């Protein structure tokens, strides 16, 4: 997996492919590697945004399903609430 190193004591961005791997300065990469790096960054952002949206959608769907379950239970198992009669 590609990792970006963004520490303050590094003057320019670097990448490394393993935790203990060699660091490569982005400015020194071949042009093809720079293009792939740009695509990798874009796709990682798309993946991360997709993951957040999917989790939000799952949360929304779970809330909706719980609401449907509560409504179905009220229909199938109505509670006996005392009725208040108003006389005029």
Q: End-to-end CA distance of the chain: give it in Å, rounded.
A: 78
Query: What is the separation of C-alpha 35 from the centre of its chain, rounded to a whole number of angstroms?
Result: 25
CA 69 → CA 53, 57, 58, 74, distances in Å?
24, 18, 16, 9
Q: What is the pLDDT tens value at each position of the chain, 88 positions in all? A: 666 666 556 478 999 999 999 999 999 999 999 999 999 999 999 999 999 999 999 999 999 999 999 999 999 998 877 677 777 6
Domain boundaries, the chain: 3-76
pTM greater than 0.85: no
Cα torsion through 58, 61, 63, 68, rounded to 10? -160
């Amino acid at each position: 997996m590609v990792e970006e190193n963004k520490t303050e004591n590094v003057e320019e961005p670097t990448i490394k492919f393993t935790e203990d791997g060699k660091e490569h300065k982005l400015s020194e990469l071949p042009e093809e590697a720079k293009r792939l790096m740009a695509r990798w960054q874009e796709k990682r952002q798309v993946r991360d945004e997709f993951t957040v949206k999917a989790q939000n959608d799952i949360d929304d769907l779970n809330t909706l399903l719980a609401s449907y379950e509560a409504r179905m239970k009220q229909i199938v198992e109505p509670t006996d609430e005392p009725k208040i009669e108003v006389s005029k």
